[in-house]
Amino acid sequence: MNIKTSFKSDLSMLKKRNLETGGAVQKIVDSEVLRRSDPYVPFKSGALKKSGILGTKIGSGLVVYNSPYAKRQFYNNAGKGKQGTASGGLRGKKWFPRMMADHKNDIIRTAADAAGGRYEK
């Protein structure tokens, strides 16, 4: 008895679901991370928030805040602004991990929908 099987390449299977490098799903995830991080990013003049938009190449898988003081704000921001963590808001230090703690499942669900899959928590 002979059995013959054929499988599509990994790359073609990923491409079918838009999961290739720089594909539609990666672009959606990058955009969602920026969008959902927005209320968490410290805001005085808006330059830090804008640096995330300008410093990120959507689809690369990297969200980059490239202002000169981004690292200092990420680790040391006291959240004392109008919408800061000290006054009950969301803006303050370590905005990405805090955003992911609140919205990780939403981002995964969005990516699964875009890939034609489903996500059950």
In the chain, what are the domain boundaries? 41-121
pLDDT of residue 2: 86
Distances (CA, A) of 90 to 2, 75, 84, 93, 104: 63, 15, 6, 9, 16
- Mean pLDDT in consecutive groups of 10 residues from the start of the chain, 121 residues: 79 80 93 97 95 96 96 96 92 97 96 89 73
Instruction: Supply the pTM of this predicted model.
Output: 0.85
Contact (CB, 8 A) for 90 and 83: yes
d(CA 98, CA 119) in angstroms, rounded, equals 21
HSE at residue 78, side-chain half, CA atoms within 13 A, is 2
What is the separation of C-alpha 2 from the centre of its chain, rounded to a whole number of angstroms?
48
